[in-house]
Chain A
Amino acid sequence: METIDQEVLEELIVESQEHLDVIEPDLLSMEGGAQGADPEVINRIFRGIHSIKGGFGFLGVEPVQRLAHAMENVLMKVRDGELAMTTDMVDVMLAGVDRIREMMEDVTVADAVDPSAVYAGLQPWLDDAEAVIPPAPAPQAPPAPPAPAAKDIVGKSGFIPLRGMQSGSAPAEQAPEAAKPAQPVAAKGPAREAKARHQGTEVLRVRVDLLNQLMNLAGELVLARNQMIQSLDRKLTDSQAGTGMVQALQTALDESRRRLRDALQDEGRGAGTASSPAETLDREFTLLADRLRQVLSTRLSDLPGMNANLVNLDVVTTELQENIMRTRMQNMDTLFGKLPRQVRDLSRKTGREVFLEISGREVELDKSIIEALSDPLNHMIRNSLDHGIEPPEEREALGKPRSGRLSIRAFHASGQVNIEIADDGRGIDPEKIRKIAVEKGVVTREQADAMDDREAVMLVMAPGFSTAEQVSDISGRGVGMDVVRSNIEALGGSIDVESTVGEGTVMTLKLPLTLAIIPSLLVKVGGRRFAVPQVGLDELVRLRRNTGDKSIETVQGSEVMRLRGKLLPLVRLSDLLGGGKPEGGEDPDRAVHILVLKVNEDRYGLVVDEVLDSEEIVVKPLPGLLKDNACYAGATIMGDGGVAMILDVVGIAEEAGLRFSEGDLVLHGEDQGDAYRERTENQTLLLFRNHPDELFALDLAMVARIEAVPRERILNVGGKEYINYEHESLRLVRMHDHLPVTAPEHEPEELFVIIPKIVKQPMGIVVTACDDVVTMRTSLDNESLTGPGIMGTMVINGELAIFLDIYGLFEAAAPEIYTGMDPGSTNPAGLRILLAEDTAFFRTMVQKYLEDLGYEVEAVKDGSSAWARLNEDPGCCDLVLTDIEMPEMDGIELTRRIRESETLADLPVVTLTSLQGDDTHRACLEAGVNAHEWKLDREKLAGTIRRVASEAKNHG
């Protein structure tokens, strides 16, 4: 008897939870819209509560039955139009829902839950007769199954609601014997109703451990496939070698046969007998040669068939794996479904008025990630309500709408799931953050001052930082944003905060879709393979040693590298692991490979011997005995059956004792001059080809990404070519269609698409080969070869390289989009610009840009020349455009002198930097520049010049 009761009870609890999950949002939706309430909604609430009452009544769980009954009575009146659903009523009903949930956690002690507040709340709407319901706990214990069993069973969430199913918050785990429920009589009614709601897709509960097993098996299958492909590759090579041997053998055989025949003929002249043993021998030889030929042809023919099978297997395996992985996926509703209630409660508690906006409920993530996200997300929402959104009065005083807006958005971007939590509250004041961070000893005053506002805002996530000035019930719980950040990072994700004072804060989480299979880069150190997760990888740098490159230097006993003007601390994996020396010893001519890895906002370089390939790997957790090693994140099995360790990017930085702040500070110290000089002289260029004989170059800083694209992925729509890139279609351009360059004679199967940045609506540039990335001194020749889309030429490694002007190319390819600026209108006043730039390349480039826009440009090679020119003729220009880092007199000094001069003080000055987001901005503003721009961004630069010029005109 008891076992039947228990099964029925479990079933009932699961269903009741599903009811409550529906009732809760329904109640919230009724709030405020009392008169126009949808009768279907109130009916649904009513039916749900009614079912709960009936079910628990049948099983004799009185506390639940009584409470549900009281709620039902009030709901009936609302349904019949006697009462309107008020905010207060919603409050009471929600409290009732909570109490029922609590009671269901362990029905044997359901009477320990105190629902008196709910009864008191319901009282005003109840008739006297109904109010008789005793609020006091029942004297006798309800006849319920044994406590431990019920408790074990309920509360744990061992099942994943499958795709397409309205996901409940915590469906109870069923004991194995309950897996085939014996159609409980009492639960039948509610069960049918629950089913009716999920009509359409049939759903099935599957045990999580079974899914995990399937997942593992799929992983094994992937490995088996990889191994098979590898061994087949080997066989193919073997067979090719074999074919060669057979051919050699056959040639030898033919030769022997020929000689034999010759010998026979010599002999035959004498003897002339019909069938000599020699002739038989000749026949044998012929047969042998034929057989060999046969063997040869079968060997060649069976392999292609094999290949097709393998391709098939490959496709099926991949699909199987993806589908099994998808069974582990849950949509964001699991997380987001609870938010309206939570935000409502919090906003009432904090006295805020909040309009909650949720989008991307359909976005899916791995169950384990969803589970781990719950706490961080809650914390961030609490923060937004408590610190972000102002109280309504304060908002009105500020001229903002009374209700704050909290928007939570999930979406896919670059293979990751992004979750954005945005509020329109007061924002984070970087000055305040700096102050607190210094007070709390998180950073020193100097470090804080050196940070730009963005970096300062990120300090809220530094350990030991908590912004709550007073501990509040809502967010000041001792767990700070640092915990949020470490939780997110433990999932292989990252978090970013952007904030504008007075306008609000946007926090963005980036998360991998799944933890089980990750894209990684394989590298070799000391003859061993390691996998580096792609999420932690920023870029790859290859340094040639024999060029006398001093890019690797030693600062304060540790190795560092200069990367675009920043010092990058280096870690040698071989040193850290104490493993073998690189193969073949320290060869000075060997190129050094450096993986630039990111740890939060910081970067470091990991020196490895060899970079192998990128591959999707199946992550195997580390066995217990190896768990304490921070350098490893797991292990994986390679295609050849060997084991490779997965490196932990953060762990390695910690193990190596890297302290990033110090590394950054060195730049401001003794090495500064040197660093600046190199910065201006060297440029990093991407070298690529369209026709094999034509080399092109593009500044790497202008490239967002290079994609290898199989030719068949390019779509032709209306005479224009597109590819799907990050879920959007990206238009492609071919250089030879628009520029005076050679078209490739034949196109390879795989093409490369260069996706530029800076440009507003980028198009992908299709090229046939990407050669290399080189860092070198540039000097541009813009006379020998010019034309639209070509900036000039330069000899690189003995070959003439054409510098591509992407703006020119895009203008030629899509004039309707890119030629928004009519030269005539941009320079009506005949603005004259004095350009001071020491790097020939940039001098030429910027001058060309500006002249294209119709400005009159006079270019000089450094700050002192500009100063001399200005002194010689103070009226020579209307605006000075100057590089910052120049020998002798830099841009800041030039600006200072201009500002101090009597005649020139009002001359507008715009400084140019070659580095995006560098730290010179403040110094420039202090010196008195009108604006500071990145020299590679032509559109912004043009806008700035227009603005500064018109300001100066209005001013004067």
Chain B
Amino acid sequence: MAERQFVSLKMDEHLFGIDILLVREIIREFAFTPVEHSLLAVQGLLNLRGQIITVLDPSCVLGMTPRELGPGSRCLILKTAAEVDPDVAAAIAGGDLGADAVGLIIDGVADVVTVDETEVDSPPANANGVDAQYLEGVVKLDDSLLLVLKVGGLLAGAGEMKVTADSPERGGHVLVP
């Protein structure tokens, strides 16, 4: 019996989980340079100790309200394909993690949830309005449902969603630490 740990994060009313094995770190104070781009989710670029990180808003991919940047905002840096054991990646990433480091804007971290791997159920076709292609599974917690994100699928989705005329206005402002 193996345990799995998820970083849980809230987006709109949902609780999402990202496997901790795919997370490099979470940074509290961050300033990124907005970059106008045809991809909806790409917010800009961030310098993390000399490395350029592409900053994405996962809610744009998941079809939720774009994140508002504020003092509670965090940036969750995902590991790249090279940083994750290939077997682990094949088992839980659900797609290519890519060669470039990506950061996700999140609204603060709730907790790290530890569950047994058997508790991760396959996702229903449409879990609370979230497309199943972005979900690896769901975990029933005491008071809520943890939607386990398929990070590879999320990145692939981000690479496909173009900005359209009715896309929401971009934030375009820079948080200064």
A625 and B159 in contact (CB under 8 A), knowing A220-B50, A635-B52?
yes
**CB pair B52 A623 closer than 8 Å:** yes
Chain A residues closer than 8 Å to B158, beta-carbon distance:
625
Chain A residues closer than 8 Å to B53, beta-carbon distance:
623
Closest to A638 in B: B47
Chain B residues closer than 8 Å to A628, beta-carbon distance:
38
Mark each residue of chain B from 8 to 48: 1 if its CB lies under 8 Å from any CB of chain A, else 0. 00000000000000000000000111111111001011110
Q: Does A652 contact B (CB under 8 A)?
A: no
CB distance from A320 to the nearest CB of B (A): 16
Chain B residues closer than 8 Å to A220, beta-carbon distance:
50
Instruction: Give A628 to B158 CA distance when docked, in angstroms.
Output: 13
**CB pair A643 B45 closer than 8 Å:** yes
CB distance from A638 to the nearest CB of B (A): 8
A626 and B47 in contact (CB under 8 A), knowing A579-B172, A643-B52?
no
**CB pair B35 A645 closer than 8 Å:** yes
**CB pair A625 B39 closer than 8 Å:** yes
Instruction: Give A219 to B51 CA distance when docked, in angstroms.
Output: 11
CB distance from A274 to the nearest CB of B (A): 59
B98 contacts which of A577, A580, A624, A641 (Cβ < 8 Å)? A624
CB distance from A234 to the nearest CB of B (A): 14
**CB pair A626 B36 closer than 8 Å:** no
**CB pair A625 B36 closer than 8 Å:** no
**CB pair B50 A579 closer than 8 Å:** no
**CB pair B100 A637 closer than 8 Å:** no
Q: How many A-B residue pairs have CB under 8 A?
A: 69
Chain A residues closer than 8 Å to B45, beta-carbon distance:
623, 626, 635, 643, 645
CB distance from A654 to the nearest CB of B (A): 14
**CB pair A623 B54 closer than 8 Å:** yes
A579 and B100 in contact (CB under 8 A), knowing A623-B54, A637-B47?
no
Instruction: Give A577 to B170 CA distance when docked, in angstroms.
Output: 12
Chain B residues closer than 8 Å to A625, beta-carbon distance:
37, 39, 42, 54, 56, 100, 102, 158-159
Mark each residue of chain A from 215 to 250: 1 if its CB lies under 8 Å from any CB of chain B, else 0. 000011001100000000000000000000000000
**CB pair A626 B33 closer than 8 Å:** no
Q: Does A578 contact B (CB under 8 A)?
A: yes
Chain A residues closer than 8 Å to B37, beta-carbon distance:
625-626, 629
Chain B residues closer than 8 Å to A637, beta-carbon distance:
47, 50, 52
Q: Does A642 contact B (CB under 8 A)?
A: yes
Instruction: Give A220 to B31 CA distance when docked, in angstroms.
Output: 19
A577 contacts which of B36, B39, B101 (Cβ < 8 Å)? B36
Q: Does B1 contact A (CB under 8 A)?
A: no
CB distance from A618 to the nearest CB of B (A): 9
Chain A residues closer than 8 Å to B47, beta-carbon distance:
637, 641-643
Chain B residues closer than 8 Å to A842, beta-carbon distance:
none
CB distance from A584 to the nearest CB of B (A): 16
**CB pair A623 B50 closer than 8 Å:** no
Q: Does A632 contact B (CB under 8 A)?
A: yes
Q: Does B99 contact A (CB under 8 A)?
A: yes
Interface positions, chain B 50-66, Cβ under 8 Å from A, are: 50, 52-54, 56
B172 contacts which of A580, A623, A644, A645 (Cβ < 8 Å)? A580
Chain A residues closer than 8 Å to B100, beta-carbon distance:
623-625
CB distance from B176 to the nearest CB of A (A): 10
Chain B residues closer than 8 Å to A624, beta-carbon distance:
54, 98-100, 159
CB distance from A579 to the nearest CB of B (A): 6
Q: Does A620 contact B (CB under 8 A)?
A: yes
A626 and B54 in contact (CB under 8 A), knowing A579-B172, A641-B47, A643-B45?
yes
Closest to A530 in B: B33
CB distance from A947 to the nearest CB of B (A): 58
Instruction: Give A529 to B159 CA distance when docked, in angstroms.
Output: 25
Chain A residues closer than 8 Å to B34, beta-carbon distance:
528, 579
A643 and B46 in contact (CB under 8 A), knowing A623-B100, A624-B98, A625-B54?
yes
Instruction: Give A579 to B36 CA distance when docked, in angstroms.
Output: 7
**CB pair B33 A645 closer than 8 Å:** yes
Chain B residues closer than 8 Å to A577, beta-carbon distance:
36
**CB pair A223 B50 closer than 8 Å:** yes
Closest to B50 in A: A220
Instruction: Give A637 to B47 CA distance when docked, in angstroms.
Output: 7
Chain A residues closer than 8 Å to B35, beta-carbon distance:
626, 629, 632, 645
Chain B residues closer than 8 Å to A529, beta-carbon distance:
33
Closest to A578 in B: B36
CB distance from A365 to the nearest CB of B (A): 26
Chain A residues closer than 8 Å to B42, beta-carbon distance:
625-626
Instruction: Give A578 to B167 CA distance when docked, in angstroms.
Output: 14
Instruction: Give A224 to B33 CA distance when docked, in angstroms.
Output: 19
Chain B residues closer than 8 Å to A645, beta-carbon distance:
33, 35, 45
A-B contacts, 13 of them at CB < 8 A, read: A224-B50, A578-B36, A623-B53, A623-B101, A625-B102, A626-B37, A626-B54, A629-B38, A631-B36, A641-B31, A643-B45, A645-B35, A645-B45
The list of the 8 closest CB pairs from A to B, nearest first, reads A623-B100, A577-B36, A643-B33, A643-B45, A623-B54, A220-B50, A637-B47, A620-B52
* 9 extra A-B contacts, CB within 8 A, seeds A642-B47, A643-B33: A223-B50, A623-B101, A623-B102, A625-B37, A625-B158, A626-B35, A626-B54, A632-B35, A645-B35
| Chain A residues at the B interface, C-beta cutoff of 8 Å | 219-220, 223-224, 528-529, 577-580, 620, 623-626, 628-629, 631-632, 635, 637, 641-645
